[in-house]
């Protein structure tokens, strides 16, 4: 059985994230969407809220026969992947700047856990400019994010904004 970890902050979950999940699912028997708990960042959503939203949205995308689970974690991605007996860490690449950053991370992860491979998937061109940070900024400034984040996530962002 081949198991992968797809780590990220997912604050908020974007359609770019879902694209990477859907396209990587045929490569693995199981995928763990791993939500990073990073207390240094100021997230819009709590870790629990992010995990819940991902669990609600995942059934709406086709992941073939790949079993999907959602977990949160703190600390090193490589250690989390090892603790979950993962064979791979999946990462999306949007641009050359992503590649430079992700390459450094992949090499460090390989040094920490040599038996775990990093698999890079190029972002679909439709989502090549979409990031969680950009989606939050556009949303908070009143811009439109339809088609770039799941409807459920946009609804939750509106609810947070109206509090």
Choose, from 3, 17, 50, 156, the residue flagged as catalytic: 17
Choose, from 3, 24, 132, 156, the residue flagged as catalytic: 132
Please give the span between the terminal C-alpha atoms of the chain, in angstroms, as a whole number: 45
d(CA 120, CA 20): 9
Active site residue 41: yes
Burial (CB count within 10 angstroms: exposed 0-12, middle 13-18, buried 19+), residue 48: exposed
Active site residue 132: yes
Active site residue 160: no
Choose, from 2, 41, 104, 160, the residue flagged as catalytic: 41
Active site residue 91: no
> Alpha-carbon torsion 148, 102, 35, 27, what sign?
positive
Choose, from 3, 91, 94, 136, the residue flagged as catalytic: 94
Strands 3-8 and 88-93, bridge-based pairing: parallel
For residue 87 the two structure tokens come to 């064979």
Q: What are phi and psi of 59, to 5 degrees?
A: -60, -15
For residue 131 the two structure tokens come to 């990031």
Catalytic residue numbers, as ranges: 17, 41, 94, 132
């Amino acid at each position: 059985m081949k198991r992968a970890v797809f780590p990220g902050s997912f604050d908020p979950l974007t359609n770019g994230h879902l694209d990477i999940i859907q396209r990587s699912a045929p490569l693995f028997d199981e995928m763990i969407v791993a939500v990073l708990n990073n207390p240094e960042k100021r997230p819009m959503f709590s870790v629990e809220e992010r995990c819940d939203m991902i669990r609600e949205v995942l059934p709406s995308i086709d992941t073939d026969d790949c079993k999907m689970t959602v977990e949160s974690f703190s600390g090193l991605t490589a250690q989390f992947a090892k603790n979950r007996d993962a064979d791979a860490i999946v990462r999306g690449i949007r641009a050359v700047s992503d590649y430079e950053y992700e390459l450094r991370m992949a090499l460090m992860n390989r040094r920490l856990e040599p038996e775990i491979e990093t698999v890079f998937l190029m972002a679909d061109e439709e989502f090549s400019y979409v990031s969680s940070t950009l989606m939050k900024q556009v949303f908070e400034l009143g811009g439109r994010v339809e088609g770039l984040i799941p409807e459920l996530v946009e609804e939750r962002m509106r609810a947070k904004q109206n509090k």
